[in-house]
Amino acid sequence: MKDFLHGERVALTAFRGEDAGALAGFEQDSEYLRLYDADVARPRTVEAIRTAYESLTPPGGFVFTVRGLDGAVMGVACLDGILPFQGVGGLSIALGRPFWGQGYGREVLRLVLRFSFNELNLRRLTITVFDYNARAIRLYERLGFVREGAFRSFLVRDGEAHDMLLYGLLRSEWHDT
C-alpha cells in the first residue's frame, strides 16, 4: 500500500481552524493571490478563509493543510466539485511563496493524486490554471495532466487578457511515480 499522507518532506493533514492564520499570511501577497484565484485579488480575513475551507466537506469536497515535517503550515490542497457517481472531481493547490520552486508542489500532488485515485476511486481529475502561471503549468504537465482546452480571455489583469487553461488527468493515464 502506497502512503498517500506522507511524502519525503510534506504531509497532508487535517485542516484545522487555526491553520487559517498561516494561510491568511500567505494571502498578503498579490502575486500569490493572482496565481491562485480569478476572484478579486485581495487578502481575506482569517474567518473568511476558515469558512471557505470548512465548507469543503465530503463527499463533494476534501481539504488538506500541507505541512512540513516540522509541522509548519506550507499551504493547502483541495478537491472540490466531486461527483461520486461519475467519479470526477476538481483539484487545487496553493503553497506560500517561501515554498515555491523547490519540488514541494510535485510531492504534494503525488499524494493528492494517490488519495484521489486510490482512496476516492475517482476516474478523472480536472484542474484549471491561468496562462501566466508557468510554474503550475510545468508541474501539471510533468504529472501527466493533458491540456484539454482553454476558457479564452477569461480574465484581464494589468490591462491584458488571459486564458484559463483546462487540464485533465484520467486514472488510466496516471503513473504513480
Ligand X SMILES: CC(C)(COP(=O)(O)OP(=O)(O)OC[C@H]1O[C@@H](n2cnc3c(N)ncnc32)[C@H](O)[C@@H]1OP(=O)(O)O)[C@@H](O)C(=O)NCCC(=O)NCCS
Closer to ligand X by Cβ: residue 135 or 157? 135
Q: How far is the CB of 161 from ligand X (least distance, A)?
A: 18
Of 60-68, 130-138, 145-153, 162-170, the window that binds ligand X (rule: CB under 6 A) is: 130-138
- Residue 28: burial class (beta carbons within 10 Å; 0-12, 13-18, 19+): exposed
Q: How far is the CB of 134 from ligand X (least distance, A)?
A: 4
**Within 37-96, which residues bind ligand X (CB under 6 A)?**
75, 93-95
Residue from 28, 103, 121, 146 that binds ligand X (CB under 6 A)?
Answer: 103
Q: Dump the DSSP string for 50-63.
A: HHHHHT--TTT-EE
Of 38-46, 127-135, 144-152, 158-166, the window that binds ligand X (rule: CB under 6 A) is: 127-135
In 10 A of CB 100, how many CB atoms? 15
Question: Does residue number 157 form part of the binding site for ligand X (CB under 6 A)?
Answer: no
Q: How far is the CB of 51 from ligand X (least distance, A)?
A: 20
State the DSSP code for 18.
T
Closer to ligand X by Cβ: residue 7 or 75? 75
Residue from 7, 20, 22, 36 that binds ligand X (CB under 6 A)?
Answer: 36
User: What is the spatial distance between Cα 128 and Cα 46, in angstroms, rounded to a whole number?
Assistant: 25
Check: CB of residue 96 under 8 Å from CB of residue 32: yes
Phi and psi for 51 in degrees, rounded to 5? -65, -40
Residue from 51, 101, 147, 157 that binds ligand X (CB under 6 A)?
Answer: 101
Measured in whole angstroms, the distance separating CA 158 from the mean position of its chain's CA atoms is 24
